[in-house]
Structure 1
Amino acid sequence: MVSNISRVLLVEDNPAHAKLMMRTLSEFSQSLDVDHVSDGEAALAYLFHTGKFEHKTQLPHLVLLDLRIPKFDGLTVLGRIKQDPALKQIPVVILTTSDADSDVREATDRFANSYLVKPIEYLQFVNLMRSVGAYWTELNHRASS
C-alpha cells in the first residue's frame, strides 16, 4: 500500500535549500506535486485558501516547514495548522538548521509530526531529503482522503 502522498507544501525561504529539496523529492515520483512558498504569510494563505491562493482547492498531504522564515515564523504556522480542524491531520515535518532544545520542545508542544535538523554538508543534506522522501512517499501509511 502506498502512502497516498501526492501533494507537498514546502515552506522554505532559502532558495538553494528549496531547490535541493524539490529536486530530491522529485526522485520519488513524477506525480508528486511540490508547491513552494518562502514565508509564513504565504504558507497560511495557501493553507487557508486566501489571497493569491483563494482558488486553490486541494490541501497538501504533507507540509515541510522551516522554522526561520519571514513574516510568520514556522512555529506560528505550525500552531495555526494544528489548531484548525480542517488542517490538523496534515503531517508537518520541521526541517530547520536549529537544534536548540527550546525549538524542539516548542515544535513538539505544537504537535509537529517530526523535527529534523538540516545538515550543513551537502551530501548529508541530500541523504536526509532522500530519507524524508522515502519515508513519506513509500513507507508511511495514511488513511485515504
Structure 2
Amino acid sequence: MKTEIKRILIVDDSPKDVELAIAALSENNMANEIIVAEDGEEALDYLYKRGKFIDEHGFPAVILLDIKMPKMNGIEVLRHIRNDSKFNLIPVIMVTSSREEKDLVESYKLGANSYVVKPVDFNQFMEAIKILGQYWAIVNQPPPIIL
C-alpha cells in the first residue's frame, strides 16, 4: 500500500512570508508537497478545484491561513471551509500578524484549530513554522475526509 504524502496549503499574500515558510518546512526535510494560494479566493479555488487548480486532486493535511489578505480575508475563508462538509475537518491554523482580539476570538468561534501570531524575528518565525509543519502534517492524525 502506497502512503500518500500529505499536502500543506499555505494561504498568504506576502511572498516573503511564503518563501520563509517554505524554507522552514524544507529545512526540516519535510517531503510534503506545498501548495501556495496568494489570497482567499485562490485558496477556495484550490479546495474546489477551480481555475488554475482544476487538475488538482486530494485535500491538504493542514491549511496555514493568513488573515489580512486582498479579495477575501482569512476569516472569510475559514467561514467557507467550516461551512462545507467536504472541508470542515481539515485542520486550519491561522498564521497571522494580527494581534487583534476580535480576530483571535472570531477565528476560534469559526473553528480554527490554532492561532499563531507571526513572530517579527526571522529565527523565531522559521522555528514556529517548522514546529507547525511537523505537528500538523506529520504527527497529527486527522480524521478521514469523507466525500
Q: TM-score, normalised by structure 2?
A: 0.89
Taking the TM superposition and a 5 Å limit, the aligned residue runs for 1:55-94 are: 55-94=55-94
2:10 corresponds to 1:34: no
**Which of 1 and 2 has higher RCO (CA within 8 Å, sep 6+)?**
1
Residue of structure 2 equivalent to 1:49: 49
Gaps of 5+ in 2: none
Residue of structure 1 equivalent to 2:96: 96
Residue 61 of structure 1 aligns to a residue in which SS?
Answer: strand
Q: Deviations over 1:25-51 (max 9, x none)?
A: 123445300001111111111111112
Q: CA deviation at 1:56?
A: 1.4
Shift >4 Å, 4+ stretches: none
Q: TM-score, normalised by structure 1?
A: 0.90
Q: CA deviation at 1:99?
A: 1.2
Residue 87 of structure 1 aligns to a residue in which SS?
Answer: coil
Aligned residues: 142
Provide closer, same or farther for how the CA distance between residues 144 and 82 of structure 1 changes in structure 2, counting only shifts above 3 A. closer
What amino acid maps onto 1:103 in structure 2? D
What amino acid maps onto 2:17 in structure 1? H
What amino acid maps onto 1:98 in structure 2? S
| Aligned equivalents of 2:142, 2:122: Cα separation in 1 | 31
* Contact 1:5 1:62 survives alignment (8 Å): no
Deviates more, 1:64-73 or 1:5-14: 5-14
Residue of structure 1 equivalent to 2:8: 8
* Contact 2:5 2:33 survives alignment (8 Å): no
Residue of structure 1 equivalent to 2:142: 142
Residue of structure 2 equivalent to 1:109: 109
* Contact 2:9 2:64 survives alignment (8 Å): yes
| Aligned equivalents of 2:31, 2:130: Cα separation in 1 | 16
